[in-house]
Structure 1
Amino acid sequence: MSDAVAMPADRLARVLGRFPALAVAVSGGVDSLTLASFVHTHGLPLTVIHAVSPAVPADATARVRAMAAAQGWELIVTGTGEFDDARYRDNPVDRCYFCKTNLYDRIAGLTDRPIASGANLDDLGDYRPGLIAAAERRVVHPLIEAGLTKADVRALARDLGLGAVAELPAQPCLASRVETGIAIDADDLAFVELAERRLAALTGGGTLRCRITHRGVAVELGEGARGREPAVDALMAELCAGAGRIYAGSRPYRRGAMFVGVPAMGA
């Protein structure tokens, strides 16, 4: 059977056959968790490495720890050090390059196994300077090599019995909520994490983002969260008042809204 008609799982298994072992960088999202689970299920020696920082939601770390315990992964939890890098904190349009530079350099110091990311084929259509840092460090992308889209990854997660992981909404790092040129600040990210947790409880789910913009705090609502604007605005006005922040209102969700000076792509 040719790769063009092979099932996604078969294509991924063929890609993994090139490696004697892998170190998978796991963020806590569906892509990297599914990749790690597939690698483990297929008996390839696996090290899972999860990085913690103010930009990583606490529930993502908890999810990684829970899956590692359930599946018996070798798990390493580490810091990345990106907040020590002024190039990252300054939040230029290519901030993700400096984040991934710190991440992959840290991982390379922890393992001699090839480093794999959970990037999927759809990610190639976004503005992702982190992929440049990955290429410079010879990070491999098995899901991309196997031609798996986000929908393919979710289907694979269901086949693997990963339950709610298969339905996790896209959840880029918290720093992606900060508009280009506004310095990345741990207090801002903690506020974003709190606000999005409260908003999710209020709306019952769906795509939503709490944005730190030059005009103040804004909320973006996507499918599944629209129609609750009055309640969202009331909650955010209360949270912002309590934190001494300006609330700039709610608006429809738009990918890449925080990137200034690049096409409308991203988180």
Structure 2
Amino acid sequence: MANQTTLSPVLKAKLTHLKECLNDFSNVCIAFSGGVDSTLLLKTAVEVLGKKVLPITVNGAMLPRSEFAEAQALANEIGVSPLVIEADVFALENFVKNSSDRCYHCKKFIFTQIKKAAIENGYNVILDGSNLDDMKDYRPGIRALGELGIYSPLKESGLKKQDIRDLSAYYGLPTAAKPAMACLATRIPTSTRITPEALKAVEAGEDYLKSIGLSQYRLRLLGDTAKIECAPEDFNAIIENRQTLVATLKNLGIKTVTLDLAGYGCGNMNG
């Protein structure tokens, strides 16, 4: 995505609103994952509040290690040092049993820790990167944010996902065209227990898909079968590298590797 040099009047007004929202606070803590939304929020907050911004990144088995490393580098590029907290999601039975409201319990568990760390460091306002489009999808975790008093200024400013990508391009952020990323647990069907081994297999498989040039993909884990979703134009790359991909996954306990001919679909494990 090329950098934008100008903004439409509508988008400019939304950005102004966002800055006004942020300027209402003396300091803020931001739940920072390094994704498209939280990166724009962090960039804008630092522009408005300077060093009075604390990004907190949660490290745990639900987050690919490559994403964690990218988040740390991004925060440093923006000019702030993130606070890292560790989250043992496997200590949370409501995460492990993977019911339809897993995301609610996991989000509440994680943001409770973020809120505690923020307050201990002198930050009483905690922000997250939820946007207006998130209200359209199945997002049980949003209820947890409301219960904990987490503020979502991107949503309050009327910013949709494409707006956020456009503003990211305007700021020259490397996340402007970054593919959507979600918790690794979303690759496992509802009511199937989540194990460390399952998340490791998903992470390893998706790391390999990224290494062969794919940008938007998911590796869904159905028992001992891996189902790969990607854009149809990437099918050839899968076929050309199938032997190494299959070997990689079989070393992690996967018996069967399949390619979904319907292609990538957001939220295919919702339920």
Q: Which residue of 1 aligns with 2:24?
A: 18
Q: Which residue of 2 aligns with 1:216?
A: 225
- Amino acid in structure 1 at the alignment position of 2:230: L
- Amino acid in structure 1 at the alignment position of 2:118: T
- Count residues with an aligned counterpart: 256
Give the CA deviation at 1:149.
0.9
Q: What CA distance in whole angstroms lies between the structure 2 residues aligned with 1:54 and 1:255?
A: 21
Give the CA deviation at 1:155.
1.3
Higher mean Cα deviation, 215-224 or 85-94?
215-224
Q: What CA distance in whole angstroms lies between the structure 2 residues aligned with 1:5 and 1:174?
A: 32
Q: What CA distance in whole angstroms lies between the structure 2 residues aligned with 1:233 and 1:181?
A: 30
Give the CA deviation at 1:116.
0.8
1:97 has 2:94 as partner: no
**Residue ranges of structure 1 left out of the alignment (5+ in a row):** 263-267
SS of the equivalent of 1:135 reads: helix
Q: What CA distance in whole angstroms lies between the structure 2 residues aligned with 1:154 and 1:241?
A: 37
User: In 2, are the aligned partners of 1:25 and 1:115 still within 8 Å (CA)?
Assistant: yes
Q: What CA distance in whole angstroms lies between the structure 1 residues aligned with 2:39 and 2:10?
A: 25
Aligned match for 2:183, one of 153, 173, 197: 173
- Amino acid in structure 2 at the alignment position of 1:98: H
Higher mean Cα deviation, 87-96 or 184-193?
184-193
Q: Which residue of 2 aligns with 1:206?
A: 215
Aligned match for 1:182, one of 172, 178, 192: 192
- Amino acid in structure 2 at the alignment position of 1:138: G
User: In 2, are the aligned partners of 1:210 and 1:217 still within 8 Å (CA)?
Assistant: yes
Q: Which residue of 2 aligns with 1:195?
A: 205
Q: Which residue of 1 aligns with 2:148?
A: 137
**Residue ranges of structure 2 left out of the alignment (5+ in a row):** 1-8
User: In 1, are the aligned partners of 2:26 and 2:49 still within 8 Å (CA)?
Assistant: no
1:37 has 2:43 as partner: yes
User: In 2, are the aligned partners of 1:207 and 1:224 still within 8 Å (CA)?
Assistant: no
SS of the equivalent of 2:176 reads: helix
User: In 1, are the aligned partners of 2:11 and 2:163 still within 8 Å (CA)?
Assistant: no
Aligned identity (percent) is 29
Higher mean Cα deviation, 73-82 or 170-179?
73-82
RMSD (Å) for aligned C-alpha atoms: 2.0
User: In 1, are the aligned partners of 2:205 and 2:249 still within 8 Å (CA)?
Assistant: no
Matches within 5 A, 1:106-145: 106-112=113-119, 113-145=124-156
Give the CA deviation at 1:92.
0.7
Question: What is the CA deviation profile of residues 117-160 of structure 1, one whole-angstrom value per residue up to 9, with x for unaligned ones?
Answer: 11111111110111010011011111100011111111111222
Structure 1 residues 217 and 153: alpha-carbon distance in aligned structure 2, compared to 1, 3 A threshold: same
Structure 1 residues 224 and 57: alpha-carbon distance in aligned structure 2, compared to 1, 3 A threshold: farther
TM-score w.r.t. length of structure 2? 0.87
SS of the equivalent of 2:76 reads: helix
Higher mean Cα deviation, 246-255 or 224-233?
224-233
User: In 2, are the aligned partners of 1:46 and 1:74 still within 8 Å (CA)?
Assistant: no
Structure 1 residues 20 and 94: alpha-carbon distance in aligned structure 2, compared to 1, 3 A threshold: same
Give the CA deviation at 1:27.
1.2
Higher mean Cα deviation, 121-130 or 18-27?
18-27
SS of the equivalent of 1:243 reads: coil
SS of the equivalent of 2:189 reads: coil
